[in-house]
């Protein structure tokens, strides 16, 4: 059967989370005078935060921790790494970070062009994100891509995350899409590729960070515009 429905992951597939988070954290770092108070250079602070945050998101995906644990610990553990045991300042960072990341809405290069191309070709587009429900819709809206999508699904809606089959089932039902007519495109090998493939979808791995993973039956792209060769 011909592909009709395309499900995109959001963060780092279309919405440039890595860049937007970096810029937001830089603002917070300056405003909170981290260098003056704690003598921690920004790039070191960001590197540690990034490492901790990536690990926690993998643990959320794998069901090892919940959203609340991540929000209580990602900044707390970052400061702790530098010898600062201060839950209060960590929570200031957490709340302001969530409020302010939406001030930055850079998209991954080629995002607008590929969404326009796919829409013009008649594909029905959807978002399926493991991100927080409270920001997923706003990211789409504020970055100007919301109107391309028939449905926007956050795993928070049912508290089950990719790669689990139930979240794919939910998203397809919401989008009135059949499995054999649907494709998943994303940058997370486990959540998007292995999860989508196990569920029975066509999958495309967007290798935006040059992980160089590959598997039988998995198409790989390095740039979004390469989707034009597939679809």
Write down the domain spans for the chain: 5-16+108-229, 17-103
Q: Spelled out in words, what is the top-level CATH class assigned to the domain 17-103?
A: mainly alpha
Are 5-16+108-229 and 17-103 the same fold in CATH? Answer: no
The reported pTM is 0.94
Residue 1: its pLDDT value, please?
67
pLDDT: which is higher, 28 or 61: 28
Distance, CA of 207 to CA of 201 (rounded, Å) = 18
**Topology of 5-16+108-229 in CATH?**
Rossmann fold (3.40.50)
Q: Residue 132: pLDDT band by 50, 70, 90 thresholds?
A: confident
Query: Is the confidence at residue 186, as pLDDT, over 90?
Result: yes
What is the percent of the chain with per-residue pLDDT over 70, rounded to a whole number? 100
Residue 134: its pLDDT value, please?
82
pLDDT digits (tens, 9 = 90+) for 148-168: 999 999 998 999 999 999 999
pLDDT digits (tens, 9 = 90+) for 169-179: 999 999 999 99
């Amino acid at each position: 059967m011909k592909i009709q429905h395309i499900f995109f992951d959001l963060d780092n597939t279309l919405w440039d989370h890595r860049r937007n988070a970096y810029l937001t954290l830089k603002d917070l770092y300056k405003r909170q005078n981290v260098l003056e108070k704690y003598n921690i250079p920004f790039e070191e602070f960001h590197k540690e935060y990034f490492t901790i945050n990536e690990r926690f998101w993998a643990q959320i995906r794998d069901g090892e921790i919940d959203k609340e644990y991540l929000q209580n610990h990602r900044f707390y553990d970052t400061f702790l790494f530098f010898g600062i045991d201060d839950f209060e300042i960590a929570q200031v960072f957490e709340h302001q970070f969530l409020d302010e990341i939406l001030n930055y809405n850079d998209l991954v290069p080629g995002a607008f062009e590929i969404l326009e191309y796919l829409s013009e070709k008649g594909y029905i587009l959807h978002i399926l994100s493991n991100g927080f429900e409270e920001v997923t819709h706003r990211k789409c809206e504020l970055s100007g891509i919301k109107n391309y999508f028939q449905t926007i699904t956050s795993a928070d809606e049912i508290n089950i995350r990719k790669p689990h089959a139930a979240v794919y089932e939910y998203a397809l039902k919401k989008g009135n899409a059949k499995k054999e007519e649907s494709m998943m495109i994303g940058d997370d090998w486990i959540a998007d590729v292995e999860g989508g493939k196990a569920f029975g979808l066509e999958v495309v791995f967007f290798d935006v960070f040059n992980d160089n993973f590959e598997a039988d039956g998995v198409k790989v792209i390095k740039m979004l515009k390469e989707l034009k060769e597939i679809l």
